[in-house]
Structure 1
């Protein structure tokens, strides 16, 4: 059975994701679709709209056969670390292909870029350091450094978010010496960060979330941008829990942690550098909302995304040593499967490259502790009786089985 792997967040699953999924099946001619999906917190340092279990269910309902969780220590990192963790999971799961969406859409350009960058890596890294000293953010320094290399035609634009991820996926495949063949699908209509609907059927997850959080939600409507199964699961989640998760729900916890924090303690938190801890504490004292806090604390050097990740690591008390100890995943946490996926696992069980976790209570390795902690914190904004239920669910919930 040939398997194609996808690296996803599905926050939430929408028509653009369905296009990617169907294209991956068509390009690879695979029998099985395996998704590695971020857990309850995402790469941009924000909480997922709904829990990983609901998002895994969205994936299964849409045609994914197996969903594995991307651990917190990879899911909430910059592109290179995110890619290393995700690719290592798909490789261990036996994927023959990795299919990703990109602004470029031509896999040959990614190969050309990888070769070009490997030959000029030393100059590229020196240029990044030079630009960072001027006070720009790391992503901006990367983009400027790439421009200065005077790259020829036939390379991908490494200022685009999905191109950057795709480039790092190929790097990770090379680093792992994996036999996975990379494939790419050109993104349709909506850009990754679009806040407004770009077409009648395709919209970014950002614009969909904005509509869900809007006071005029009923007037805007998102039905045309998401499958009916996603719509049903979003409706069910809100009916059960009374919430779609966003940073504003967690700001009181973050503010409390910052107001009682010692700057020396904050410096131990991952990504807290260059005295930003003092600015964070001062800003928490004068901000009534997360948006107000972020707008006041943001600087030219610190992007919104990096600041969100810093805030998330403060919220989860994640130390530098925890986030730099692993370069590859050490387990396969199964969140859900179809009948087809179950058959694949039964055939592959003896050949998987990492331990398979189907129920957390049976796994004792300490590598899983950041995921447990993240799930507990994610649940802290729920009503009390549901909060306790959610704490227990993390240990007792078996993988979703879609027959």
Structure 2
């Protein structure tokens, strides 16, 4: 069986994701699709709208054959490490191809960009350093450095100011650095861009736009046109039990408690907390009862909203610099859901897997990365502050992969 891999968050699974899934299958002529999916905390440093099990079930019902979890340490990392962890797992799962959505839509441009930055690595890194010294944010420094290096190429290059292009570049980079035989492919995003608001006249909206509608309107019916029926059913089931969607506004009382129960200096031990921002985080927690003004007080030209949220995620989950520095690659494959075809594929490659396959976490108590996932899941459910959330603490030990 020919397998293609995709890297997803599905927060939530919407019509754009369904388009990507179907086009990936067509473009790569694959028999099955394997998704590496983030757990309960995401790459932009925020709690998922609904938990990983609900999102995995949505993906399975929509036609993904195998959904495996991207460990917390990679799911909440900057783009390059996020991509490294995801592509490592797709390679370990013997995927022939991986396919990502991008604003660019041409894989040749990604190849040209990778070749340029590889050949001009010293100049590129020096330019980044110079722009950072000017006091601008790291993502903006990357973009400015890239512009300065682009003059060395006569080939078409990718616009690395676009969020999906950035991730796509890092996926290809990760595959090349792993010396993986897995082949890249891309399809162009349609209608909605990454941060666009949802428009009632369209059938495709960004996940960001859909979440915004859900948080502001508080009615699931307002987003029905953007979601397949399987996702609507999944969200309805979640609300029936959990009563609330996951969000930083919901989690903020616990986050604030965690910040204020320690001194400013100790906050600096958490992953990605740097350059004295622990002082701003602690001071903002003292003054603000709600998450939005708390964030607005901290944000600056040097630190983007996303970067601060990733720091807060690590503070919330007690993930430190020491833990982060000790992690290089995923150390297991953990299925969350699988179709009959996904099960057959796993069985066919099982003897050749270089990583342990974990279906029940109780059998892998010594795995450090897995323990981080379990802790993150428990803290996610506590952050919901509902009876359902409290009842789900420890559920990683009870839940087995969904099968179809």
Give the TM-score of the pair, scaled to structure 1: 0.97
- Matches of 1:383 and 1:282, distance apart in 2: 25
CA distance change for structure 1 residues 322 and 331 in 2, over 3 Å: closer, same or farther? same
What is the aligned partner in structure 1 of residue 211 from structure 2? 209
Per-residue CA deviations over 1:63-121 (Å, capped at 9, x if unaligned) read 10000000000000111000000000000011000000011000011111110110111
What is the aligned partner in structure 1 of residue 400 from structure 2? 398
Per-residue CA deviations over 1:147-203 (Å, capped at 9, x if unaligned) read 111254411011111111111111111111111010000000111111242851110
- Matches of 1:253 and 1:388, distance apart in 2: 14
What is the aligned partner in structure 2 of residue 17 from structure 1? 17
Number of aligned residue pairs: 401
Per-residue CA deviations over 1:256-303 (Å, capped at 9, x if unaligned) read 122222222111111111110111111111111000100111000000
What is the aligned partner in structure 1 of residue 38 from structure 2? 38
- Matches of 1:101 and 1:155, distance apart in 2: 16
- Matches of 1:316 and 1:152, distance apart in 2: 46
Contact 1:83 1:168 in 2 (8 A): yes
Alignment map for 1:218-257 (pairs within 5 Å): 221-257=222-258
Shift of 1:389: 2.9
- Matches of 2:118 and 2:332, distance apart in 1: 30
| 3-state DSSP of counterpart to 1:332 | coil
- Matches of 1:86 and 1:395, distance apart in 2: 23
Contact 2:83 2:171 in 1 (8 A): yes
| 3-state DSSP of counterpart to 1:95 | coil
Give ranges in structure 1 of 5+ residues lacking alignment: none
What is the aligned partner in structure 1 of residue 86 from structure 2? 86
Alignment map for 1:1-400 (pairs within 5 Å): 1-149=1-149, 150=151, 151-197=153-199, 200-215=202-217, 217=219, 221-364=222-365, 365-382=367-384, 385-400=387-402
| 4+ aligned runs moved over 6 Å, structure 1 | none
Per-residue CA deviations over 1:299-328 (Å, capped at 9, x if unaligned) read 000000000011111111110011122222
Contact 1:203 1:225 in 2 (8 A): yes
Give ranges in structure 2 of 5+ residues lacking alignment: none
CA distance change for structure 1 residues 385 and 201 in 2, over 3 Å: closer, same or farther? closer
Range with bigger deviation, 275-284 or 148-157: 148-157
CA RMSD of aligned residues (A): 1.4
Range with bigger deviation, 197-206 or 135-144: 197-206
| 3-state DSSP of counterpart to 2:217 | coil
Shift of 1:215: 3.2
Give the TM-score of the pair, scaled to structure 2: 0.97
Shift of 1:393: 1.5
- Matches of 1:382 and 1:252, distance apart in 2: 10
